Amino acid sequence: MPKTKTSEGTENVQVAVEPIKEETAQADEVSKNTPLEKFLEKNDVLIMLYPKDENGYFMQSIDQNDETLVYNAVTKQNSSKKSLLILLDTSGGNVYSAVKIMDLLRSKYKEITIAVPHVAKSSGTMMCCGADKIIMSPISELGPLDKPMVHPDNEMARISALDIVKSIDGMLDTAFERQKEFAEKLNTDYGISIQKSLDIASKTITGLVSPMLCREDVKIYNQAKRLLVIAENYGQEFLNQNMLKTIKNKNLRQRMAGVMIRRLIWLYPDHSFAIRRNELKDWFFIVEFSEKIEIWPELWKEYEDNRSNKSKNIKFI
């Protein structure tokens, strides 16, 4: 180091200070990035949050307007990224719109993850079937795909299509069982021939069941049945092409998709039933637990900051 003399004759040591290297500064800047900020360097994040009232009940649902909202958001985003995370909280809604939204996003992104902070029911569950994986917390839940419809006796109310179909199918199944039991009893207790016992039992049970069936509207039954078939077709297609695509055997994958979607439609006793993450993993859904996801605390904060009790919030972070 160079030395100089002062007027008093003492020596001063001059210390050379090297400039901070540009690379070091950049490294320090990167180190300050949060996990979500780092995630956003390679992935897009789309918020789809639907408003709830003060009691936690959803006030709006997925509808046709959302198709336009998502389309405009994707167009404005103008991103070259190939992976998308959807932060989704919804009670469901229009299944056709949910399917079209996923088709739109699939045309843009090769990999789609859906993070469910709380609820993704009905058509929200359909969207999850069309994702590659789902992130769920201990309080997250999906729901059955039994398709709600207008109540036949109250236009202001909704009823599960499954309730209508099961009520009639269940009545017919019960009638068949009772007819068989009655015929066996006639044959065993009174010695009446099997053929005659069946004839008596058939007429008796038909007389009991017919008045109840006559009160049911066949058109309503067919409408409910058709809605369930629609949900089954869309759901099976989504599972086969996306959630189950890691199963390489095509026939096995199709069979698994069929089994899984039938369970989602027919297994549960109520449309509001909560399907939790452990059960979904047992069904071969690709589910990641939020506790193991580095960006989850920030995703939860986005959920808390962006949810509203007035209007739906659909936008990219």
Q: What is the pLDDT of residue 270?
A: 78
Residue 15: its pLDDT value, please?
A: 47
H-state helical runs in the chain: 22-31, 35-40, 64-77, 95-108, 123-129, 161-190, 194-214, 218-238, 250-266, 277-282, 296-306
Burial class (CB within 10 angstroms; exposed 0-12, middle 13-18, buried 19+) of 205: buried
- The arithmetic mean of pLDDT across residues 48-65, rounded, is 93
Q: Which of 122, 111, 110, 127 is nearest to 48 (CA)?
A: 127
Looking at the chain, the whole-number percentage of residues with pLDDT higher than 70 is 72
Measured CA distances, 191 to 183, 197, 200 (Å): 11, 9, 13
Q: Tell me: pLDDT of 49 over 90.
A: yes
Whether 2 shows a pLDDT value over 70: the answer reads no
Look-up: residue for tokens 């016992």? 197
First and final C-alpha spacing in the chain: 53
Residue 188 pLDDT more than 60? yes
Whether the pTM exceeds 0.85: the reply is no
- The residue-averaged pLDDT of 205-210 equals 58
The closest of 149, 133, 116, 312 to 231, measured between CA atoms, is 149
Q: Domains in the chain, start-ordered, CATH in brackets?
A: 35-143+274-316 (3.90.226.10), 146-250 (no CATH)
Least confident of 33-42, 55-64, 83-92, 142-151: 142-151
pLDDT of residue 240: 95
Integer angstrom CA distances of residue 239 from 110, 232, 268: 15, 10, 19
User: CA–CA distance from 186 to each of 31, 197, 277 (Å)?
Assistant: 84, 6, 51
Q: How far is CA 265 from CA 43, 162, 234, 304, in A?
A: 33, 8, 12, 31
